[in-house]
Every structure is written in C-alpha cells, then in structure tokens.
Amino acid sequence: MPSIKKHNKKINMQQIGTKNILLPFLVPTLVLALVLGTLLLLCSKGELHLLLCKPHTPFLDTTVPIFSDLVDWLPYLVVLLLLFYRAGWATFLASNLLLSTLIVQPIKHLVNAPRPLTWFAENMPEVTLPLVEGVRMNHWLSFPSGHTTTFFVLFFSISIILCAENIKGKNILSLLCFLLATFGAYTRIYLSQHFALDVLAGILIASFSTILLYYFLVLKTKNTRFWKWNLQKLRK
C-alpha cells in the first residue's frame, strides 16, 4: 500500500505539471504574441509604434517610468524572498534570469538595432515622438527588449510557483501575473524605448527560457533535499 500511495502522488504531481502549471500564463501569452505578430504584418514599423505609444496622459507619464524601472530590483528581491520558502524556486528564478540574459545580450549587440528615437530621426524625421520628461532615452541595442524579457521571466516564474504550490486562486493570480508582465512590456513602447517587434522577441525568449528551465531544472530536482531547503532552517 505505501508504494501505491507514493506512485499516485507522483502521478498527481505530473498531472499538475502538464495541465495546470504552465497553461494559465502561457495561453494568454501566446494569444498576445499572435496579436502582436498580426499587427506587425498589417502595419509598418513606424505606424504601429505611433499607434501604440500615442495615448499619453499625465497619470501614465508618472506611473509608467516607475513601473518600467521595477526590473532593476524586483526580480532579485523575489529571489531573496524565495530563499526563505524553497531554495529550489529561488534557483529556478535566478537561473531563468541568468539564462534569458545570456540569450538577450548577445543578440542585442549582434543586431545593434536603432531605438525608436534614432529610427524615427533617420526614417521619419517629420514625426515628433511623445516623450516623457526626465526619462533618459537610449539610441541603440533595441532588439530584443531586455526589460520585456525580464518582466515575462519574472511573472511567468511566479505564476508557475503559484500553480505548482496549488495556491488558492492560482488561476486568477496567474492571469494577474500575465497582465503585469504585459503592462511592463507596454511601458517600453510607451516610453519609445522599444518597438513592438522588440517586445515580441522578448516575450518569446522569456517563454522559451522559462519552459526550458521548468522541464530541465524544476522537474528533475523537485524531489531533492536542496529543493525543499530554505534560509529559515539556518535558525534551527
């Protein structure tokens, strides 16, 4: 009987992993990627950027830069907090941040695409982009968007953790994670730091990195002692 119970437990964990852990965040992400891809096919690069970045308001001009800058510290704070819960999840997120960075940065420097401010000055000089006062504008290394990649890595990872731990309301929380990641990606277009294509590439890279590490890190180490270890055990 003990062996049967253990076997059933493994089956349940596998079912959670395949059905309820990735899909709550992944499905809306794929829909978003499809929408962006369609818009990129229907609109020119400049037209689509102007369409998406134009609706500026005083409220958004204040909140968007603050939200956009969250990627400078929030992911590392979450990693630290996870160390007090499970070292495995902290390792998952930290590894995800590292892997996605190792993918994004070489592509950025290899392509060295112009940012919107530089691109419009060269290709559509008659257009004045709506900029936010006080925001330092970048001119190169546009593709792909590193901020977008980090936003989606962070919130996709959090969604996976919520679902894997079977947290109450996990599906709604996963949708909230998706909305936050999407808004984070949009801030880069709103601030004219990136084009929609840069954002789409960041979303795809983050999704690839997260799914890859989920299968080859989480599923292979989740039953180890290290996975369940946390900083609170140092007090004992």
Query: Would you call 87 exposed, middle or buried from its count of C-beta atoms within 10 A (0-12, 13-18, 19+)?
Result: buried
Quick one: which of 39, 13, 33 has its CA closest to 181?
Answer: 33
pLDDT for 83 equals: 95
| CATH (domain of 134) | 1.20.144
Strands (E) across the chain are located at none
DSSP secondary structure of 15-36: HIIIIIISHHHHHHHHHHHHHH
Domain count, the chain: 1
For residue 108, the enclosing domain spans 2-235
Q: Which residue's structure tokens are 């709550």?
A: 24
Half-sphere exposure of 154 (CA within 13 A, CB side): 24
Question: How many degrees, rounded to 5, is the angle at CA 118 between CA 68 and CA 63?
Answer: 20
Mapped onto helix, strand or coil, the DSSP state of residue 220 is helix
214-220 CB contacts, 8 Å cutoff, 24+ apart: 214/21, 214/22, 214/92, 214/160, 217/91, 217/92, 217/95, 218/88, 218/92, 218/160, 218/164, 219/17
State the CB neighbour count (10 A cutoff) for residue 155. Answer: 27
Contact status, residue 203 vs residue 29, Cβ threshold 8 Å: yes
pTM: 0.92
- Measured CA to CA in angstroms, residue 207 lies from 3, 8, 157 at distances of 36, 30, 10
Place of tokens 């950025």: 108
Residue ranges for the chain with pLDDT beneath 50: 1-13
For tokens 């109450």, the residue is 168
Do residues 197 and 143 lie in contact, with contact meaning Cβ atoms separated by under 8 Å?
yes
Q: Return phi, psi of residue 62, to 5°.
A: -90, -45
pLDDT for the residue 4: 36
